[in-house]
Structure 1
């Protein structure tokens, strides 16, 4: 933590160069510019090592002027925290860090804090979460080996959310009309996740997202088995239906292939079926100010499909057994 005491004057000879995030070191031109400044702001020093955390340009400027002392604020903490503070200070004031500096810093922070979310590291380094995610993928700590990450708000969120979705589906199976907040609290998920799980179950879909199911497979057979077991417990045995395989079979069925309305049905469904991987790619195309309207439209379409499915099931039950 920062020492809130007033800055103290320290001999320049007692200070050591810091673990700077600047890959190219200090800029001589910036040092000369600061040397012409009458009063240099205090620099930040790690008390445990006497290394400069923030202010190497000011320290060099003081040396260039021939000063023997410099004003110092102290930081109490470990060296990992000191580096994090150095990066944070350098992206907020003074000579900006280059993109290469910030990316290298993000790589180091990932090593020190692998449990941090991409957004948390992005906020600390002035990068985008996407860039941090790419750096994480190149790092030696694969994301799928982490159980959770710490967000900017300090809350821990799971990398693989399939377990929480399975718990939510169990709660919903026992009490389908339970309030969303009660479901979320019981399953340990967000209200938004509880809402999505209930909507997916009502539509006859798998409560676990395709991307999470793929992650579950990577994490091991026990997790994948749990996903499949829960699908059967909730009666969701057709959730993994692939329209492409169904369409291939339908198109070979003479009752569909040689009937005009059958061919028209195939063409119509081609334009109305969407796979999860498709909407994952398209969802970012919706501007934020249209999110609610498009969400209502999607919910309306889902309701229409549900009615369509129920009508088909009723007709199937009325068919005499052969």
Structure 2
């Protein structure tokens, strides 16, 4: 169809398209795959670099595939397409896309949004908690210098901690942009994590609200954070019994959201045995916890 009839994409790229990449495509001379166009709006969903390359070649028409879904589904398709091929989205692009999808599709699970954005499910969980914390009020202020700064960096620090764990090769600037923090703050978060500390200093932590109990996702994230702290502790990592304990904790870490499908998968004729095993294991862990807590109290 005619290039002049197409509109720019509702792009997941925060900084827009990269001109250099379009020039590289134009110079190849190869026949490029069709772009995807949202038929109701004629906006490009996937293929802005290919469209620019066609213009650089002086072409007036381009091959297209049409998509007829709604605008938000078109955006989700654009995100997914740009993590599957072509020039990949940055960490900040994918994090911002997850925030937007959480607004339009709050019922989607962390794993479903993770599959669409190329993030880890626990990163999406951290983005979800940060987004819900901002739902009732503005969490940023515009300064006289024109820069927007968060009122509290607690949510951003926790997101940065998750991003650092899930993307160890990412630079401080990438993490900072994705979490909405200064690089120096991300550096402090990394230092605290390496020291086995909470990424949020005590004075900045937000106390839980009485009318907002922790969600299963919150509880699961807290469990994973505690396990990661233990796994970094040399006193456990470098002893045989410590490594055995870490393996047990890792194997038996079950998040609240994991229970329903496990309950549903047990056939009726196995229920009694599974119940007996679960109760026996639960009693053993409870005894272990009480003994350990008793030793802690005696030491204190």
Query: What's the TM-score, normalizing by structure 2?
Result: 0.49
Task: Give me the TM-score of the superposition, normalised by structure 1.
Answer: 0.46
